Amino acid sequence: MKKNKSITIGTVIFYMIPVIAICAAVIFGYLYYKDFREYKEAEDEYADINDNYIAIIPDREDGNGGEEQDEITKTPEYFPLLDIDFDSLKSINNKLACVLYIPAVDITYPVAYSEDNIDYLHKTFEGKYNFAGCIFYDYLSDRGFTGRNTFIFGHNMKNGSMFGKLKKLVSEAGLAASNPYFYIYTDGQIRKYEIFSYYRTVENSDTYMDVPDDETYDTYVKFCQRYSQFKEFPDDIDFTERPGLVTLSTCAGRAGGNERFAVHGALVATKNPINKNKLKK
């Protein structure tokens, strides 16, 4: 008579390992697909917004080009031409604050006023649930960019969407120096900001302090300059005039951590827009 083979713990483990591996692969595969699908849906939404409501008009249409135009873009007097259909954007989301344009890292997004800094964490500009969320205006900042420092927040997405491209300022040497300006387009004014500082920090640092008066403003600017990784900043901003600041903030490091990446810009010029609400279809 044959004896029954005893099942040892080692045998059980031997057969369980491939089962566990297959289950893990299925779970991680599903999570990857879920993230990929949400990223794609968010990208498609904002691509549709840019295609239909925000047009960047090439500088060469002004009759300039080549090295001469490159030099012009580096001057404080230069403003990129954007044809923005504000009425249509407001019909999509009446919380529209502005359109943010950062040429150096190829960022063009509508920005929404937040009610509590939570509402747009996982809601797109069109109001759809999506992990990518929306670029949003800090609800504690004075509206209309009238405060001494205005915060704008966005996710640091793995695929480079939202504020994920801001990290290029660190990874690509000379990028900020080649074009240190970003632009805020509102329905009535274009505001030009010069980047003077960027660095990694944590969520409870003085980066996020209130700036209620001139003395605090001066302290805050010195703080931003002290920790700045922007070593090529030309130091051409007159902070004694206390120009309005905009701070762009996003997550850094591992997901869910308290690390942040901040980019500070100072207002250097304003301009009334041209061809307002006459977007070419």
Per-residue pLDDT of 33-44, as tens digits, reads 455 566 778 788
First to last CA, the chain: 87
Q: Is residue 10 part of a domain?
A: no
Q: Are 244 and 267 in contact (CB under 8 A)?
A: yes
Does position 30 have pLDDT exceeding 70, yes or no? no
Q: Is residue 276 part of a domain?
A: no
CATH of the domain at 154: 2.40.260.10
Q: Is residue 1 part of a domain?
A: no
Query: What pTM was computed for the model?
Result: 0.83
Mean pLDDT for the stretch of residues 182-205? 96
- Give me the pLDDT at residue 215, please: 97
Q: What percent of the chain has pLDDT over 90?
A: 65
Q: Tell me how crowded residue 128 is: count the other CB atoms within 10 A of its CB.
A: 13
Q: Is residue 2 part of a domain?
A: no
Tokens, residue 161: 């969407």
- Give me the pLDDT at residue 161, please: 84
Instruction: Using pLDDT thresholds of 50, 70 and 90, give the confidence band for residue 265.
Output: very high
Mean pLDDT for the stretch of residues 206-230? 97
How remote is the C-alpha of 88 from its chain's centroid? 22
Q: How far apart are CA 137 and CA 145, in angstroms?
A: 10
Q: Is residue 108 part of a domain?
A: yes
Instruction: Using pLDDT thresholds of 50, 70 and 90, give the confidence band for residue 24.
Output: low
Q: Are 246 and 150 in contact (CB under 8 A)?
A: yes
Mean pLDDT for the stretch of residues 203-222? 97
Report CA-CA distances (Å) from 233 to 9, 88, 95, 176, 264: 64, 38, 34, 8, 12
DSSP letter for each residue of 63-87: T--HHHHHHHHTSTT---EEEE-HH
- Give me the pLDDT at residue 276, please: 47
Domain holding 165, by residue range, is 36-271
Which of 30-39, 210-219, 225-234, 253-262 has the weakest average pLDDT? 30-39
Q: Which residues of 207-232 are buried (b: 16+ CB within 10 A; e: fewer)?
A: bbeebeeeeebeebbebbbeebebee
CA angle, 86 as apex, 274 and 277 as ends, to 5°? 40
Q: Is residue 109 part of a domain?
A: yes
Mean pLDDT for the stretch of residues 133-148? 97
Does position 15 have pLDDT exceeding 90, yes or no? no
- Give me the pLDDT at residue 7, please: 66
DSSP state of 59: G
- Give me the pLDDT at residue 85, please: 96
- Give me the pLDDT at residue 196, please: 97
Which contiguous run of DSSP H or E holds residue 22? helix 9-53
Number of domains in the chain: 1
What lies within 8 Å, CB to CB, of 167 at 6+ separation is 156, 252, 261
Q: Which residues pair with 84 in a beta bridge?
A: 54
Mean pLDDT for the stretch of residues 110-123? 96
Rg (CA), the chain: 24
Q: Is residue 281 part of a domain?
A: no
- Give me the pLDDT at residue 69, please: 58
- Give me the pLDDT at residue 25, please: 57
- Give me the pLDDT at residue 90, please: 97
Mean pLDDT for the stretch of residues 173-183? 94
Q: Is residue 30 part of a domain?
A: no
Tokens, residue 213: 């008066």
What lies within 8 Å, CB to CB, of 270 at 6+ separation is 189, 190, 191, 192
Which of 30-34, 50-54, 211-215 has the weakest average pLDDT? 30-34
Mean pLDDT over each residue of the chain, to the nearest integer: 86
